[in-house]
Amino acid sequence: MKKTIRGFRPIYPTPAALISCISKTDVPNIITLGEVFNISIGKPLIVGIAIRKERYSHGLISDTREFAINLPKRDLLEQVDYCGAVSGRDLDKFKSSGLTQVPASVIRPPLIAECPVNLECRCISIQEVGDHDLFLGEVVKTHADESILGPDGTVDYAKLETFCFMFHYGRKAEYWSIGEKLSDAFFMRKKLSQ
């Protein structure tokens, strides 16, 4: 029998991502988010991030309307958690975390060198949605380390070593690794067309 539960984040898992942004005076910052998702995967490519209004990065992205989504590997778990535990109002997260800034191609916020996937985004919309604001960003440039690419030049998911964020209000939040491949998607279409 199923029970009603409270405090559980209803959509899971969500990727743990490092979002880089920058002030109007070119001071960079990083925020750790678990609210990162695809909105439109065609043209244009649109992604979403959700940030609480009181967070320092919320103001930076609202002012500059640019951000980068940096997807970390498991070996960056400590830096990912650190960047979510301290505020950029108080310190330089790049220096204190040991993460490396690299210039973006199109936007002003820097990318994070240690992350194998980086998406440069221009904010096209900010919407108030409950206790977070939703920032919709058009991806204007994508980057992927050669080390995670397969022979055909596309991302090899087995090499990503990504992880996700699981959260239960009032209990605890946890990071979980992404498991093994189960199957190619849309296998039933092939089966049904035979």
Q: Which fold has domain 14-193?
A: Pnp Oxidase; Chain A (2.30.110)
- What local confidence, expressed as pLDDT, does residue 20 receive? 98
pLDDT in tens, 104-116: 999 999 999 999 9
In the predicted structure, residue 10 carries a pLDDT above the cut 70: no
pTM (two decimals)? 0.91
Taking only the tens place, the pLDDT of each residue in 23-73 is 999 999 999 998 999 999 989 999 999 999 999 999 999 999 999 999 999
Q: What is the DSSP string of the chain?
A: -----SSB-SS--EE-EEEEEE-TTS-EEEEEES-EEEEE-SSS-EEEEEE-TTSHHHHHHHHH-EEEEEE--GGGHHHHHHHHHS-TTTS-HHHHHT--EE--SSSSSPEETTSSEEEEEEEEEEEEETTEEEEEEEEEEEEE-GGGB-TTSSB-HHHH--EEEEEBTTS-EEEEE-------TTHHHHHHH-
